Structure 1
């Protein structure tokens, strides 16, 4: 049986929390993001955004149904909010990104920017009836009619809260790329060539 908490000394390096102030930290529930690329909602509200003094206050905030993740009401403290997710608390909206040190940051965004989300295509597969399913980086699976339009590495613009595809950016020469790993993490660059 897995645990709902972990020691702060062993938490992922991408979490922007101090390691020696407390012993324990809440662990994110299983979901679309890996533990390294997301943080639990309760920890974000308490430790990162400083909107609650403790998890009890954070739980009360969720009970008011004013907290949304990707345009949907969220009531679970352990829900992982990960890379490119949109977190809305009342009138304020935040997007999860990586900074140049590889730490998860929740940056304030406008209402217009909160109406969409970027998702990377991780792969595609054929399911029954010959339909094609696109697999995205945050655990989503989307059915599409024309599979030849999409390749691994492409980016889809997902409109929120209806979760439909609003745009497509192919991974090709001249495209803008946001680096999520390596020594240049958190930097935006132009694609010069694709091997």
Structure 2
């Protein structure tokens, strides 16, 4: 199987310039599915910490680059939405967050914020023994004794060391959300209305935003395109985008 990917056909979320070259690295097996960005792209093309895959492999072998609290050694390891990327020697920490247009960007966070990550619940089922298994957007499964308080669309904050749930945000009207796909990717607002569509059509949400001079604003999008967050995700420094530049 080839380890290369044509730039023109990469997912829209990948922070790469499509016309600079024909090929780029292909994501390996792992979380986030096809939308996962190979770690090499973030190290080389976004942060500019390495110039080649060889340098990236050497850096990862030092054990000082962590993804969600775990040291990684595979340059093709997929990185996706809300992952935490830590450089322990540099004391630099980033959260992967959707930017305008749906591209993934690295948002600097402090060390305390890097101790946990956000996950969107995309499925729930009862397993042997009576416990419930919550499936998150990145492929992670979390087991809980009582699943009654959790629903698809909710968001969980998972401690990177203990893998336990430390916070829970319900998907409901009034919740703070960010759009992660579609025309409004990267925008943040409050759920004003949830519309359940009869039949096979997607459910939709109306998101309220404060416009200029306090005027009402907002947008409507598919329910699957929004993720519930809290106010800690709305601030911080500028995101790092392709080429290592801040906007």
TM-score (ref. length: structure 2): 0.75
Equivalent residues in 2 for 1:76-91 (5 A)?
Answer: 76-90=74-88, 91=91
Give the unaligned 5+ runs of structure 2.
Answer: 196-247
Out of 17-26 and 54-63, give the one that drifted further: 17-26
Deviation of 1:58 after TM superposition, in Å, equals 0.7
Point out where structure 1 has 5 or more consecutive residues left out of the alignment: none
In the alignment, does 2:16 pair up with 1:14? no
Q: Does 1:25 align with 2:15?
A: no
Aligned residue number for residue 61 of structure 2: 63
Listed as ranges, the matches of 1:113-128 within 5 Å are 113-128=113-128
Q: What SS does structure 2 have at the residue aligned with 1:189? A: strand
User: Aligned partners of 1:193 and 1:9: how far apart in 2?
Assistant: 37
TM-score of the superposed pair, with normalisation by structure 1? 0.94
Query: Structure 1 runs of 4+ off > 4 angstroms?
Result: none
Deviates more, 1:170-179 or 1:59-68: 170-179
Q: Deviations over 1:71-105 (max 9, x none)?
A: 01111111011000000123111111111111111
Provide the secondary structure at the position in 1 that maps to 2:114: helix
1:4 corresponds to 2:8: no
The residue number in structure 1 matching 2:94 is 94
Q: C-alpha distance in 1, partners of 2:172/2:12?
A: 31
**Contact kept in structure 1, 2:130 and 2:145, CA below 8 Å:** no
Aligned residues: 193
Alignment of 1:194 with 2:194, yes or no, is: yes
